[in-house]
Amino acid sequence: MEIWDNFQHIAGKTHVIDFVYKADANEVMLDQHLVHDILVNLLSNAVKYRR
């Protein structure tokens, strides 16, 4: 949620970001750093290119 909090703060004045989580999996194995980089990139682009 750290990433989420940072972007909510950055985009808060001009954008509304909703976080929706739906999954059937109880456990997944992920590379924490890779997922962090992917989410930062996706959220940055969403804020940057939002019309």
- Does residue 31 have a pLDDT over 60? yes
* 14 torsion bin: left (phi>0), alpha (psi -120 to 50), beta (else): alpha
Looking at per-residue pLDDT, the higher value among 37 and 3 belongs to: 37
Using a pLDDT cut of 90, give the percent of the chain over it: 2
Residue 51 has pLDDT above 70, yes or no: no
Give whole-number Cα distances, 26 to 17, 18, 23, 29, 33, in Å.
25, 22, 8, 11, 20
Whether the pLDDT of residue 38 is over 60: the answer is yes
Query: What does the pLDDT read at residue 24?
Result: 82
CA angle (35 as vertex; 29, 40 as ends), nearest 5: 165
Does residue 1 register a pLDDT over 70? no
